[in-house]
Each structure stands twice: as C-alpha cells, then as structure tokens.
C-alpha cells in the first residue's frame, strides 16, 4: 500500500512539474524566412535562451519546427506602468502631463525603449555617414547660406518659418501623421519639476535617463545614444541629444542627457541627434486595443527591425538587399547575430580555428567562390551562398556610406546603401594568427574575398580581402594562413 501511495505521489509530482513548466513556456512554429535572431526579436528574448530550451536549433532550423519560448514573468503587472496604447502601430506612454501630449516609448528606428535608433540632422529624414555643414540639406555648404527655416538675413534667405514642417519631420514621415517631433514646449513640460522625476540609470545594460511622471507614475526611458558630427559618433553610452521641432536663427532646440543631468541647448542643425516622437491626440478610430494593438506592435517592430534593410533568406540564412549586384548576408559564417564575430578561417580552408594551427593551402588557384572544397560559405550554408569576390567588395565600398559605430556594444561599420538606404553591419572581429592568438579584436576588421593575389603568375601565398578600422576601409592583400572572417553573398 505504501509503495502504491509513493508511486501515486511521484506521478502527481511529475504532472505538477510538467504543468508548471508548461505555464512558463509558450511555443512558436517556424515559418519560411525566419531565423533565431528574428524570432528572438518577435518575443523580446535572447537567442541564447531559445537555444537553451531547444538544443540543436542553432544548427538546424526548418519550416514547421516547434520551438519552446520562455514567457517573461510579470508581463501583465508591468504593462500598466509602461505601454498605455498604440497609435498607428507605435507604442505611446501617457505621463498625465497637462498638455495631454503622449510620448513614444522608443526612438525612431528602435524596437525597444533602450535601443538607440537612428541619428538625423535637424529637418532631414535620411541616415548619413557625414553630418556636417557641407552635407546639410537646408544650406549651401555653410550656415551663412541657409535655404530654409531662417529668420535672420545674416544667415541666409529669410522665410521666418518657426516650426518644422510635417514634410521635413522624420517622425511624421516614418510613423505617420499622428506623430511628430516634440516642440521646445514639450521638452520644457517634461523637465518641469512639478511633472516628472529624472533619474540617470541603466536599463537592460544601456545607460540613459528614466523619466517618471509625478502625476501617474508612468515612465519613459531615453537612452544615451550619443550624437554624430562629421563621420564620428561621440559619447554613446555617456550622453545623448534629442531634436525638437523648434528652430532659431541658425540652430534648433534640443534636449541633452548625460550622467550629470539633463538640460536644453541650441544645437547646430547639421549634427546627428535622435528623435523621440510625440502624439498630440488622434481620431478615435486611429487607436487600437487588445489583439489589434498586439498585431500593430509586432508589425511596427518588424518594420523598425527591417528599416534600412530588406530581409529575406536563402537556405535558412538572412540576407539584405542593398540594391547591388549580389545580396549580402546579415551575419558572418559561424554567427547568429549581425554583431557576432563568427569563426575565423584561413583562405581556402573550410574548418575554423579551434586550438590547432591553420594549415594553409598553398596551391596556384583561380577564384574559389562557390567551390565547396575551398569556399566555407558554400560548404557551411549551402545553396547559392559563397565568399564575395574582390569586385563585389569594391562595389560595396563605392555604392555605400560607411559609418564606424557600435552595435549592441560591438565596434564595426554600419554600411548603408546609397541606392535604397538598406544596411548591414560588419563587426571589427580582428584576425587570428597561426599561433592561435587573436589580434585587434574590436579595433580592426578583416574579411576574405574569394580572389587570390596573383604575383607574377603565382597565386599561392596571398589573397585579397577587406581591411578596416575606425580610420578607414580598403581592399588589401593578406597571407592566406591568417584567420579572417567570412561574410557570404548570394545572387
């Protein structure tokens, strides 16, 4: 009898364990074109967490596959103090301010409150590599020749426009007419000590200011996204600037945040600052609730995730269409996210360095692209994937704007197409020597091409590759025994 009771209790314990486990996990069925990175963004979880619950999915992911997804605890309790509603697919927070203005929960170009998003010059809607007077849209190369939003003849043609027009408002252009840049008065209201409490803090590993309403306890987070001047991105993680819609004679009003506090400043309009949109009220049919909000939120998140990118996949690996002769992969071979370094390979070898010396292939060879015995992209990813040719790297250089930046804490280049605005990120993954040591990781980037270097009819020692640092980028030659990364391409 005792034995039977023990068996029953054991079975009950197992059932309760399974039930508890089921309560804290949901499932996702993989669709065509989805990757672990994309799925992680849909559920706001880490790729590593999906892999932990689904061992082997990092190697094989197929349509119809059922993945366990860990549900976040306390989601329902957190919602009232974070997301109040959705307008045109983008979340807002009602801080209960006297004006009734609603503040977006994210920057333009971001999918989470702590994402930096994009940087824009004032009155522009394009992401650029160079933020300077010479490249600014509304002047002829100097701020003494303004062509719009000028109230002083000393600085250009006077039009006395004292508010950014909707046609030049990136928030309206990207998110719809219900959204716009905040005015100077909106920033003043947000900083009024009777309305909000400001706290420099860290949210999910990102520094910034948490702004909490004294009126209803709701809050927004403004990440320290830095600012762009010339080709440099400065003070990311230490401070940041946010444009208003209010100009003066040749500047525009902005909010600045850092670990010392927050304040208002008139900034040069050519600088690249972030945008945190506001909404001043919409027609009743523009707001959604329940399932509509969830669908709109997912669509907006995917739009931001894919903004400046056209995502699809070949053989289970994502690519970006830059409008060039080939499609570029979003990740390196061996990586699962754009900022992951991935593996390092000697040129013409298909096994990565894992504690053994590189065994370089010293053969006179022509281009190795698409040959699985030499092309690691073709061997590992299959289909039409291959190592890019030197001409395709040169096309990437000639047809894109290159910006040295940090993505999720990793240094590298954001490469934005001049043809369609889509972009990829190449991390500064360094290189690996035959003694197994890594060199210049986080400082330099080296990527193999499939093209050998022909020296007086001999092509058995070096090969061409992309070489970059914060100071620039170019095609160069390198010893074939060195371990460089591979960023695949496909037709």
Q: Work out the percent of the chain whose per-residue pLDDT is above 70.
A: 78
pLDDT grade, residue 313 (50/70/90)?
A: low
Judgement on whether residues 142 and 32 belong to the same structural domain of the protein: no
Kindly state whether residue 302 falls inside one of the protein's structural domains. Answer: no
Structural domain for 83, as ranges: 78-297
One domain, residues 330 and 253 = no
Domain CATH number, residue 11: 3.10.350.10
Evaluate if residue 396 carries a pLDDT over 90: yes
- Residue 370 resides in a domain: yes
| Of residues 383 and 59, more confidently modeled | 383
Tens-place pLDDT, residues 130-151: 899 899 999 988 878 899 999 8
Where is the domain boundary, 43, 73, 103? 73
| Structural domain count, the chain | 3
Cα separation of 386 and 372, whole Å? Answer: 9
Mean pLDDT of 261-286: 82
Same domain as 230, residue 104: yes
Query: Does some domain include residue 439?
Result: yes
**Which tokens in the block code for residue 332?**
């390196």
Report if residue 312 sits inside a domain: yes
* Burial (0-12, 13-18, 19+ Cβ within 10 Å), 409: exposed
What is the rounded CA–CA span in Å between residue 466 and residue 448? 7
94 and 142 share one domain: yes
State whether 165 and 286 are in the same domain. Answer: yes
Question: Are residues 313 and 278 part of one domain?
Answer: no
In a domain, 303, yes or no: no
**Do 242 and 287 fall within a single domain?**
yes
Q: What is the pLDDT of residue 444?
A: 92
Position 197 scores a pLDDT of 96
Residues 286 and 348 in one domain: no
CA distance 100 to 94: 8
Residue 405 contacts residue 413 (beta carbons within 8 Å): yes
- pLDDT above 80 for 253: yes
Comparison of pLDDT for 395 and 17, the residue scoring more: 395
Give the pLDDT of residue 355. Answer: 38
pLDDT for 277: 98
pLDDT score for 299: 52
Rounded to whole angstroms, the Cα distance separating 414 from 408 reads: 12
Residue 8: pLDDT above 70?
Answer: no
DSSP category for residue 158: -
- 432-469: pLDDT as tens digits: 876 556 778 888 999 999 988 876 655 567 889 999 99
Mean pLDDT across the stretch 282-311? 46
pLDDT confidence of residue 120: 95
The pLDDT of 362-378, averaged and rounded, is 77
Residue 129 forms part of a structural domain: yes
Q: Is 408 left (phi over 0), alpha (psi -120 to 50) or beta?
A: left
- Is 288 within a domain? yes
* Average pLDDT over every residue of 40-49: 77
Residue-level pLDDT at 86: 80
Share of residues in the chain with pLDDT > 90 (%): 41
Compare 316 and 160 and report the one with higher pLDDT: 160
Helix and strand totals (H; E) in the chain: 9, 27
Q: What secondary structure letter does DSSP report for 6?
A: H
319 forms bridges with which residues in the sheet?
Answer: 312, 329
Alpha carbon dihedral 221, 223, 224, 227, in 10-degree steps, equals -120
312 and 270 assigned to the same domain: no
Q: Examine the fold and report which residue of 50, 73, 96 is the final residue of a domain before the chain moves on.
A: 73
Q: What is the pLDDT of residue 149?
A: 93
- The reported pLDDT for the residue numbered 236 is 86
Query: Which pLDDT score is estimated for 37?
Result: 67
Pick from 274, 297, 320: which residue ends a domain? 297
In this prediction, residue 63 carries a pLDDT of 73
Residue-level pLDDT at 434 = 61
Which regions of 315-437 does DSSP assign to beta strands (E)? Answer: 317-320, 327-329, 400-407, 410-417, 423-427, 431-432
- What is the pLDDT of the chain when averaged over all its residues? 81
Q: Are residues 345 and 471 in the same domain?
A: yes
Claim to verify: residue 66 and residue 51 sit in the same structural domain: yes
pLDDT of residue 81: 35
| Lowest-pLDDT choice from 24-28, 65-69, 294-298 | 294-298
DSSP 457: T
Q: Examine the domain organization and report whether 179 and 69 are in the same domain.
A: no
Entry pTM: 0.49
Closest to 340 (Cα-Cα) out of 441, 459, 462, 461 = 441
User: Does residue 414 lie in a domain region?
Assistant: yes
Among candidate residues 80, 88, 109, the one with its CA nearest the CA of residue 219: 80
Average pLDDT, integer, range 378-392: 90
Q: Which of 126-130, 291-295, 481-485 has the highest mean pLDDT?
A: 481-485
């Amino acid at each position: 009898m005792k034995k039977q009771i023990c068996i029953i209790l054991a079975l009950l314990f197992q059932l309760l364990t399974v039930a508890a486990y089921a309560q804290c996990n949901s499932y996702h069925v993989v669709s065509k074109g989805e990757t672990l990175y994309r799925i992680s963004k849909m559920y706001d979880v880490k790729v590593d967490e999906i892999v932990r619950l689904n061992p082997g999915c990092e190697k094989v992911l197929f349509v119809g596959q059922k993945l366990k997804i860990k549900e976040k605890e306390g989601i329902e309790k957190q919602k009232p103090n974070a997301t109040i509603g959705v307008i045109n697919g983008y979340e807002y927070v009602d801080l209960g301010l006297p004006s009734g203005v609603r503040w977006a929960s994210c920057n333009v170009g971001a999918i989470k409150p702590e994402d930096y998003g994009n940087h824009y010059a004032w009155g522009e809607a394009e992401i650029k590599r160079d933020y300077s007077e010479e490249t600014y849209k509304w002047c002829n190369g100097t701020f003494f020749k303004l062509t719009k939003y000028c109230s002083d003849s000393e600085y250009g043609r006077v039009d006395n426009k004292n508010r950014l027009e909707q046609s030049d408002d990136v928030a309206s252009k990207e998110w719809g007419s219900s959204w716009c840049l905040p005015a100077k008065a909106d920033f003043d209201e947000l900083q009024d000590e009777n309305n909000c409490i400001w706290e420099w803090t860290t949210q999910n590993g990102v520094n910034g200011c948490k702004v909490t309403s004294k009126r209803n306890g709701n809050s927004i987070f403004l990440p320290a996204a830095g600012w762009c001047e010339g080709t440099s991105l400065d003070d990311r993680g230490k401070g940041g600037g946010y444009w208003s819609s209010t100009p003066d004679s040749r500047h525009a009003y902005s909010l600045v945040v850092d670990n010392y506090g927050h304040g208002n400043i008139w900034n040069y309009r050519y600088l690249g600052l972030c945008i945190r949109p506001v909404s001043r009220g919409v027609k009743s049919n523009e707001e959604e609730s329940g399932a509509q909000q969830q669908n709109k939120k997912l669509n907006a998140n995917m739009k931001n995730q894919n903004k400046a990118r056209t995502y699809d996949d070949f053989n289970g690996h994502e690519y970006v269409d830059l409008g060039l002769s080939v499609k570029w992969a979003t990740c390196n071979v061996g990586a699962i996210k754009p900022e992951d370094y991935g593996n390092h390979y000697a040129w013409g070898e298909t096994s990565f360095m894992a504690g053994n010396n590189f065994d370089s292939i010293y053969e006179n060879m022509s281009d190795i692209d698409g040959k699985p015995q030499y092309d690691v992209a073709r061997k590992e990813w299959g289909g039409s994937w291959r190592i890019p040719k030197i001409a395709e790297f040169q096309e990437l250089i000639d047809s894109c704007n290159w910006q040295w930046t940090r993505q999720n804490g990793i240094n590298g280049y954001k490469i934005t197409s001049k043809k369609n605005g889509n972009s990829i990120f190449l991390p500064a993954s360094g290189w690996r020597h035959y003694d197994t040591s890594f060199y210049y990781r986080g400082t330099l980037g080296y990527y193999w091409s499939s093209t050998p270097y022909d020296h007086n009819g001999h092509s058995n020692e070096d090969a061409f590759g992309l070489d970059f640092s914060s100071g620039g980028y170019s095609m160069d030659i390198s010893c074939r025994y060195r371990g460089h990364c591979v960023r695949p391409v496909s037709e």
